[in-house]
Amino acid sequence: MLLIAENINKSYGEKTLLKDISINIDEKQKIGIIGINGCGKSTFLKILSGRLEPDSGNVSLIGKVKISYLPQDLEINQNNTILAEVLRNVTHEEHDIKEHEAKAILTKLELFDYEKVISTLSGGEKRKVALACALINPCDILMLDEPTNHLDSDMIEWLEKYLIKFNKAVVMITHDRYFLERVVNKIVEVDKGQIYEYVANYSRYLDLKAEREEGLLAQEKRIQTFLRKESEWIHRGARARATKEKKRVEKYEELTNREKVIDKKLVLESEKSRLGKKTIELINVGKSYDQLLFSDFSINVDRDARIGFIGKNGSGKTSLFKIMVGAEKPDCGEVIIGDTVRLGYFSQVNEALDESKRAIDYIRSIADVVKTKSGTISASQMLENFLFDEPYIPISKLSGGEKRRLALLGVLMKAPNILLLDEPTNDLDITTLTLLENYLEDFSGAVLVISHDRYFLDKVVDKVYVLEKNNEWIQYSGGYSSYLETRKSIFDEPVIKENKSIKPKEKKVKLTFLEQREFENIEAETEELSDRINRIQKEIDDNITDYYKTKDLYLEKGKLEKELEEKFARWEYLSEIDKLSKK
């Protein structure tokens, strides 16, 4: 056992987040913390990490347990270079070995210029640096708050494999359901101040939770039957009531005032609006900023389309959506929007919500009532159906995830017939995602989605466009998993084989003479590859208007990045043997 938390309580003002919570963390345990936005997940993780004091209760570390922690809010030195920040807490003795390990992680996160000053990075790049800092620190418990934020699909898959192989305890908050399926062996759900523990991955958790809720509903029915009988007994008359057993009356009052279990199936619906044959058509559209994003892209969106758009961060996906909604103009090509189209655009960055207003004021500013298949629904009912228990709560008191959920509801309430969703899963909890997925399943118009959430894409789309390294959009049929399979079969991409771990109990091993020479030279080789990648990037920046030249440069850069990844994988293998030979 590594950590014991006992009787933890935490409130902010009148809102109680955690009520008398206890939990243990064991060696090599991999725990996923889930729950609706604003329920207290991050607060819970901060308390476990020792960064926040509970109102009452204790958190005890067993022995000299070390914790490495990735917070939601960045805590990095803006004046440091990337490499200096990642190695900030590394001892002098470990510096050389950790430096190469840090470069391997940074390469996987596509941060190739290790000497770049952090203050010059984008928000997403800074988040990657913070993740690298957490992964490189020696620890017994690795605590991660939303580790997949700002990572594209390839990076998420790499992090998934890294954590599966990681032989220490992991506690993380995540809404990535494939992560929960493949990485964790225990799920802790935070709900109304309590926690519910399931020794399970995600699919098994769903089964166990359903069983628990069925049990609670059955218990609720028994309680209701009991209360009806007791109510008759208690109300037989004032004179008779005076002689009732005190304990029996107290039991009746206790059950009457309990927090009731409600069998409530949340359904989100909206008004259907007519959509003609002409929807959205792009003809030979292209866009550049500091570099070429894409060119010659054409698409004619079907009325019932379900399309996902995939690509590296900063590759131009958001720009494509902005072109479709008219927020940006293409450098070339034509955009045609049908007369009956009512666009609903949910952007990566939320619109500025007036925090002096209440949630219901914001929704009423869009519509007082909404027509649905089931009839007319009021604004307050729509809020309740979208998981807002307090419709009159000031927007200023909502968490970041709750504000994003409110903004999404605002988009859906405008009764669009074409939805463009840019990273809709960012900061949304699993309950909201499931509700949104069910809504999209019944949505009668077209849905276009930018997302790195593999589970969401598999569930929602039946076609994906992938922005390849040559700046061209390539179409694949099926969801994200189908795209991966198709890509492997078409391109027969080489896969870097995972190095099998060498067990300490096996006979002592050591590097061969040739492997020793390779190990001694590999660091210099990776440095040279990194320099070449940076030089090519500078050449791309200098020739941004020359499409054909930059296209070739991008292809060369991609090959070098692949070679660098393979070198780091080889270094990890040789390093492991070298360490074992010295034991």
pLDDT score, position 575: 81
Residue 138 pLDDT > 70? yes
Model pTM? 0.77
Distance separating alpha carbons of residues 165 and 217, to the nearest angstrom: 40
- pLDDT mean over 384-406: 87
Q: Residue 495: is its pLDDT beyond 90? A: no
CATH code for the structural domain at 3-205: 3.40.50.300
Q: What is the pLDDT of residue 20?
A: 95
Helix, strand, coil fractions of the chain, as percent rounded to 5 = 40, 20, 35
> What does the pLDDT look like over 540-569, one tens digit per residue?
777 766 656 666 777 787 788 878 888 888
* Architecture of the structural domain at 280-490: 3-Layer(aba) Sandwich (3.40)
At 412, the pLDDT band (50, 70, 90 cuts) reads confident
pLDDT digits (tens, 9 = 90+) for 170-192: 999 999 999 999 999 999 999 98
Are the folds of 3-205 and 280-490 the same? yes
Which pairs count as long-range contacts for 436-445, CB under 8 Å and 24+ apart, including other chains?
Answer: 436/268, 436/408, 438/267, 438/268, 439/268, 439/269, 439/270, 439/412, 440/306, 442/269, 443/419, 444/272, 444/275, 444/304, 444/417, 445/273, 445/275, 445/303, 445/304, 445/416, 445/417, 445/418, 445/419
DSSP H or E segment with residue 346: strand 343-346
pLDDT of residue 237: 56
Q: What are phi and psi of 292, to 5 degrees?
A: -70, 130
User: Which of 204-208, 368-372, 378-382, 426-430 shows the lowest mean pLDDT across its residues?
Assistant: 368-372
Confidence bin at 343 (pLDDT 50/70/90): very high
Q: What ranges in 87-152 are assigned the alpha helix state H?
A: 95-108, 123-136
User: Percent of the chain beyond pLDDT 90?
Assistant: 39
Q: Is pLDDT larger for residue 282 or for residue 376?
A: 282
Mean pLDDT across 84-101: 85
pLDDT at 583 > cutoff 70? no
Residue spans of the domains in the chain: they are: 3-205, 206-256, 280-490, 513-581
In which band, very low, low, confident or very high, does the pLDDT at 494 lie, cut at 50, 70 and 90? Answer: very low
Q: What proportion of the chain, given as a percentage, has pLDDT over 70? A: 86
Q: What is the mean pLDDT of the chain?
A: 84
- Residue 219 pLDDT exceeds 80: no
pLDDT at 263: 45
CB atoms within 10 A of CB 535: 12
* Residue 194 pLDDT level (bands cut at 50, 70, 90): very high
| Higher-pLDDT residue of 177, 266 | 177
Tens digit of pLDDT for each residue in 307-333?
A: 999 988 778 899 999 999 999 999 999
| pLDDT at residue 100, rounded to an integer | 85
Spatial neighbors of 218 by CB under 8 A, at least 6 apart, are none
Q: Are 287 and 294 in contact (CB under 8 A)?
A: yes
Q: What is the per-residue pLDDT across 451-491, written as a single tens digit (0 to 9) for each? A: 999 999 999 999 999 988 777 898 998 888 888 888 766 55
Q: Which burial class, exposed, middle or buried, applies to 260 when counting CB atoms under 10 A from its CB (0-12, 13-18, 19+)? A: exposed
CA geometry: angle at 452 spanning 447 and 456, to 5°?
55
Contact residues for 446 (Cβ-Cβ < 8 A; gap 6+): 275, 279, 280, 301, 302, 303, 304, 305, 306, 307, 417, 418, 419
pLDDT band at 377, cuts 50/70/90?
confident
